[in-house]
């Protein structure tokens, strides 16, 4: 692997701050150089893989250290610009709330971290942290309609991509997510 041009320390920060710091770091290095990101957020590996897909940068490697992750990203294109959410099927918070009230809601998969889920979640939502989506949904009924939710729509977008790749046919990304959820909450 190429030598590291810059290290961004985002330990102790949660989504979206590690990405915000990494974007600034990526803008500070030249094409072909490697950015190292240190993060403690358990969703960071999935977030950064998705971020690299959205920005056309390259995710090189992940290492787990004592209590944190080391991620290595290679700058491939000059401009670090997100394409935005890439999963094409979205449902708004209001649409999901209306379906919950009508009793026609899809299976809701909450992909946030444990502490986020414990602080408040949609009643009946199944908790599967983003880094466990592939294996954590294997036991669920494949033919069901699914709505993935996170805080802002970024992690749930990535979760939807994983679910669709694994054979789920009816998958929705809930936007803008729990950060603006006005429907029922349970703890």
Catalytic residues: 15
Collapsing DSSP to helix, strand or coil, 24 comes out as: helix
State the CB neighbour count (10 A cutoff) for residue 156: 31
Supply the DSSP string of 136-162, one letter for each residue: HTTTS-TTS-EEEE-SSSHHHHHHHHH
Helix (H) or strand (E) holding 173: strand 171-175
Classify strands 171-175 and 90-92 as parallel, antiparallel or unpaired: parallel
From the list 123, 131, 134, the residue with the least C-alpha distance to 186 is: 123
Collapsing DSSP to helix, strand or coil, 38 comes out as: strand
């Amino acid at each position: 692997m190429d030598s590291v041009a810059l290290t961004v320390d985002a330990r102790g920060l949660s989504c979206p701050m590690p990405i915000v710091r990494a974007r600034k770091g990526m803008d500070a290095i030249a094409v072909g150089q490697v950015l190292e990101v240190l993060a403690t957020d358990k969703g960071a590996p999935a977030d950064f893989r998705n971020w690299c897909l959205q920005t056309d940068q390259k995710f090189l490697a992940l290492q787990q250290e004592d209590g944190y992750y080391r991620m290595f990203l290679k700058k491939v294109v000059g401009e670090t610009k997100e394409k935005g959410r890439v999963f094409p099927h979205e449902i708004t918070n209001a649409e999901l709330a209306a379906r919950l009230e009508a009793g026609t809601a899809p299976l809701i998969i909450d992909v946030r971290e444990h502490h986020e889920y414990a602080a408040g979640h949609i009643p009946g939502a199944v908790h599967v942290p983003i880094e466990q989506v592939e294996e954590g949904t294997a036991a669920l009924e494949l033919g069901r309609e699914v709505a993935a939710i996170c805080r802002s729509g970024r992690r749930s977008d990535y979760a939807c991509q994983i679910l669709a790749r694994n054979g789920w046919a009816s998958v929705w990304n809930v936007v803008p997510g729990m950060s603006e959820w006005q429907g029922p909450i349970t703890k």
